[in-house]
Amino acid sequence: MQSHFLIQQNFDNRRMIAKELIKKRFIKYVTVNTESNPKNPAFPSSENQWNLAKILEQDLKNIGLSDVVLDKNCYIMATLPSNINYKVPTIGFIAHIDTSPDFTGKNVKPQIIENYNGKDIVLNKTENIILSPNDFDDLLQYKGQTLITTDGTTLLGADDKAGVTEIVTAMEYLIQNPEIKHGKIRICFTPDEEVGKGAHLFDVNKFGADWAYTMDGSQIGELEYENFNASSATITIKGKMVHPGYAKGKMINAMLIANEFIAALPKNEVPEKTSEYEGFYHLHDILGDVEKTILEYIIRDHDINLFEERKKQMQQIAFNLNKKIGKDLISVEIKDQYFNMKEKIEPVMHIVNIVEETMKDINIKPIIKPIRGGTDGSQLSYKGLPCPNIFAGGHNFHGRFEYVPLESMQKATELIVRITEKVTKKYA
């Protein structure tokens, strides 16, 4: 077996080739529209996700992976067989192919910013859309690097096509460099993660890994095994329309009742005013008129008891307002989406420690923190597949200011390779 130094030297010697390959592959994937649809109960929720799934199916076959299967639910699974003569744990790497419905992913036109100078980046001159370190100071970490940005009119799709790109490229690298010894590796690309369904039809037994990692985090170094408990809440308010000139004592304005409901929630417990372990209520959609108004919320908290209290508080506000009005005009429907994976990961913390050690081996500073969101990994952990989350490199997900440093993607690709090597050595 080659020494770690020689393997690392080999990787370093080919870095520029890998960098160009990553860029080309990433651009190929992000220019395919895969926006998911939260209002469609079908699986996947948008037909266009099949377009990228079929491209990936062929790409995985072309690089030489085995058992490449695109199933009827738009999950793509594949295997890199072991190249050693002893048994080690089978590990997996997972990413999702859909992009957020919060902002359009149609007609993505990536821009390449070489040798970023630390100043404002004009994304769209016509519409005066500027990506500025004055607004996003994380940009200053990447002076001198290559940034891939949007053109200001769409999201980019680094969430999670950066993760997809990194996994495909790492598997190709391992195939082309058989001197790097590894056990059996399984990969999967899932649909509909952005609408909370990405793990719903994931077949854990078929996947057959002892544990896995989602490549779905943000900045370089992120390593996460805690996430929000999450629910959606739909508040439906009924009103009564009467001609405004004759409305006294008769009209019931659903929009004004909705305003009372909103005002009754803690005003500082919103995403823009919370951080770290602090939970929130997030009003993300309003549709209404006098007769009927619908409020769409998401509820988030890391602490399960506080999470349950948040759900009860919404029900209590509706009860109080109905009592005040004297009629049952407000209904609340709450649906749980996923739960904090911490409970499932802590008993197997060695799978987190392996990544932390590997990051340090290749000069990445680990940033271990709770996810202020969720991943497929949170649901998969409760289905019996422990699945922490690793950075994919992007910033400002779900909007026009999204960007990803190419060097971060390159480092994530290397990390995947090194994790497979680390596991092999630990279980030799």
What are the tens digits of pLDDT across the range 332-375?
999 998 899 999 999 999 999 999 999 999 999 999 999 888 78
Domain boundaries, the chain: 4-227+340-426, 229-338
* Class level of CATH domain 229-338: alpha beta
Mean of the per-residue pLDDT values of the chain: 94
Contact 232, 335 (CB under 8 A): yes
In Å, how far are 32, 194, 250, 403 from 398, measured between CA atoms? Answer: 16, 10, 43, 10
pLDDT at 10: 58
pLDDT at 374: 78
Contact 301, 307 (CB under 8 A): yes
pLDDT at 428: 84
Contact 321, 286 (CB under 8 A): no
What's the CA gap between 385 and 89, in Å, rounded? Answer: 13
pLDDT at 12: 56
Active site amino acids: 98, 193
Q: Do domains 4-227+340-426 and 229-338 have the same CATH topology?
A: no
Q: Pick from 130, 132, 149: which is nearest to 26 by CA?
A: 149
Q: Which residue numbers in the chain have pLDDT < 50?
A: 1-7
pLDDT at 319: 98
What's the CA gap between 231 and 300, in Å, rounded? Answer: 7
What's the CA gap between 356 and 16, in Å, rounded? Answer: 25
Say which CATH topology domain 4-227+340-426 has: Aminopeptidase (3.40.630)
Q: What is the CA radius of gyration of the chain?
A: 24
pLDDT at 62: 98
pLDDT at 2: 44
